[in-house]
Structures are given as C-alpha cells and as structure tokens.
C-alpha cells in the first residue's frame, strides 16, 4: 500500500474537519443561514421585486400585502427589496473588515513574533493602544474622520479587529518557531520567508480561522450599529442598520420597517455564531469529543 502524498493527507484532514463541523448540533443550521444570506446578496438584482431606491409617496407606510410582502417604508420604498440589497452591505462589511483585519493583523503578528526584540515590543504596544479604545467608540471616531460610507466603515472595523489577529498570530509564531521541524528547516538553510510561508503560516491557520469565523458576526453587528448611527452607507442606499434607524420614528404606524431588517440581522448573527462554534469545535482538538 502506498502512503498518501502530503497534499493528499492535507485534503483528507480538511474533509475530516468539515465532517466534524457538520456533525455539531447547530453547525449545519448556521451554514444553511449563511448560504442563504450569501445567495440573497449575490442574486439581489435578480430576486429583488422592486428598485430599492424607488420612492412611491402615494404608497408610503403600506401594510404588508401581496404587492409588497414586507410593506413599504415612510417614502413608499419596498421593504423586502431594501432588505435584500441591505444583505449585500452587511456581508460585504462583515467579511471585508474581518479579511482586512486578518491580513493586516496576521502580517503584523508574524512580523512581531518572527523579528522579536524591539520590533515585537513596538508592534505589540501599538496593538495594545488600539485595544485601549472601546471598539465602537474607536470605529465611530475613525468613521468620522474617514468619512461616512461603506469603505470608511470597513477600514474602521478592520483597524478595530486587527490587534486580536496580531496577538493571536504572534502567539502562534512564538510556539511554532520553537518546534523541531522549524529548527530543522532553518538548519537545512531555508530562508526566513520560506520557513514562515511553508511551516509557520499553515500551522498557525487554525486558530486564525476560528477567530475570523467568530469575528464576522460581531463585525456585522458593528456595521449595523454604525449604519444605525448614520455613519455607514449613506441615504438613499439600503443597509439593515440604516433601515432600522429610518423606521424607528414609525414604530406605532409601521413596525414592519424595523421588524424585517431587524429579523434579518438577528438571524444572520445567530447563524454565524452557530457556524463559528461549529468551526471551533471541529478545529480545536480540546473541544472535540
């Protein structure tokens, strides 16, 4: 019998992780919610029944009926269509800011852990300083100077989440560089970047992926909070947070304006939490039964 190649072994390990994630109780539910949300975001132009920006003042605050399944808002825009387009904004902000934080924080952590000494001290103190701000206050202040809009929010949230990934990566690098196989690679004359790329990064990936899967939920919540405050995507663009803010003045006459985007936000965040927990259980050997 031939031994599987390293690549084959890696593929088999990935399948085991996926199987384990699928075996958790609520993991599949989380994945289903996420697939649905991603499908809605991608297919928004096809499935949205109306133009999300088109106002119809004669039909403002209309109750949910067959023409408008989730009713209309205060200027007669279709709530369902705006909710569908808002999914794009939420997912873009959630995944975009976490990807930004993962790359920046990962590289900074790699640099700090690898270089050690003063570089390590400087990078980590800067990260401590970023962590010294309450996250939403920092995002609000950064959003204010970067200007309202999706890009500003993604950058602001990316900065807020960077230290978490930098700390995590640095810890991983310090543990992994002390291992025998890294020592062996170095002894064989492998250059620093190759050791980092081939040996350190793949082994440090698991906790980073776990953290990323848990952070996306919080990033989506944070984007919604910033949009609610008026810093995210600007009117007339639709995002769940801004829709809820616009509807709060009509709670008595038209609670559906707040109810539907609120439900979408809550269900997405619960789904992401389920998925994050499942990924953590599958990747973290200590949590595996």
Q: Which residues bind another protein (CB under 8 A)?
A: 125-126, 128-130, 132-138, 140-147, 217, 221, 224-225, 228-231, 241, 244-245, 248, 251-252, 255, 258, 262, 265-266, 269-270, 273
Pairwise CA distance, residues 237 & 187, whole Å: 57
Select 42 or 144, whichever has its Cβ closest to another protein: 144
CB contact set of 242 (below 8 Å; sequence gap of 6+)? 227, 228, 230, 232, 233, 235
Which residue number, 198 or 248, has a Cβ lying nearer to another protein? Answer: 248
Residues in the chain: 289
What whole-number distance in Å separates Cα of residue 38 and Cα of residue 216? 13
**Biggest alpha carbon–alpha carbon distance for the chain:** 77
Measured from the CB atom, the residue of 50 and 240 that comes closer to another protein is 240
146-182 exposure pattern, b = at least 16 Cβ within 10 A, e = fewer: bebebebbbbbbbbbbbbbbbbbbbebbeebbeeeeb
Residue 244 near residue 261 (C-beta atoms within 8 A): yes
Please, which residue, 50 or 228, has the CB nearer to another protein?
228
Task: Report in angstroms how near the CB of residue 205 gets to another protein at its nearest.
Answer: 25
Shortest gap between Cβ of 134 and another protein (angstroms)? Answer: 4
CB of 245 to another protein, least distance (A): 8
Nearest distance from residue 187's CB to another protein, in Å? 35
Tokens of 274: 């389920």
In the complex, the smallest distance separating the C-beta of residue 97 from another protein, rounded to whole angstroms, is: 15
DSSP per-residue string spanning 10-71: HHHHHHHHHHHHHHSSSHHHHHHHHHHHHHHHHTHHHH-SS-TT---GGGTTPPS-SSSTT-
Q: How far is the CB of 140 from another protein (least distance, A)?
A: 6
* CB of residue 126 to another protein, shortest distance in Å: 6
How many DSSP H helices and E strands does the chain contain? Answer: 12, 0
Rounded CA separation 215/213 (Å) = 6
């Amino acid at each position: 019998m031939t031994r599987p190649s390293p690549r084959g072994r890696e593929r088999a390990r990935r399948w085991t992780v996926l199987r384990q994630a699928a075996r958790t109780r609520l993991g599949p539910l989380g994945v289903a919610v996420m697939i649905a949300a991603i499908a809605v975001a991608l297919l928004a132009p096809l499935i949205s029944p109306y133009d999300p920006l088109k106002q119809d003042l004669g039909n403002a605050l209309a109750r949910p009926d067959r023409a408008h399944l989730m009713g209309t808002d205060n200027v007669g825009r279709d709530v369902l269509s705006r909710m569908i387009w808002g999914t794009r904004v939420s997912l873009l902000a959630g995944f975009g800011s976490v990807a930004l934080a993962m790359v920046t924080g990962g590289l900074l952590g790699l640099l700090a852990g690898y270089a050690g000494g003063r570089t390590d001290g400087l990078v980590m103190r800067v990260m401590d300083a970023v962590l010294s701000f309450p996250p939403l206050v920092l995002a609000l202040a950064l959003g204010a100077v970067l200007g309202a809009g999706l890009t500003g929010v993604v950058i602001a949230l990316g900065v807020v989440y960077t230290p978490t990934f930098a700390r995590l990566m640095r810890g991983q690098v310090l543990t992994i560089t002390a291992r025998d196989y890294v020592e062996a690679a170095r002894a064989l004359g492998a250059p620093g970047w190759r050791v980092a790329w081939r040996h350190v990064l793949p082994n440090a990936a698991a906790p980073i992926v776990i953290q990323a899967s848990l952070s996306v939920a919080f990033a989506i919540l944070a984007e919604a909070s910033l949009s609610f405050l008026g810093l995210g995507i600007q009117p007339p663009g639709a995002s769940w947070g801004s829709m809820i803010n616009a509807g709060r003045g009509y709670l008595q006459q038209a609670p559906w304006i707040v109810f539907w985007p609120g439900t979408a936000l809550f269900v997405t965040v619960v789904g992401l939490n389920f998925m994050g927990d499942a990924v953590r259980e599958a990747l973290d050997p200590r949590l595996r039964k």
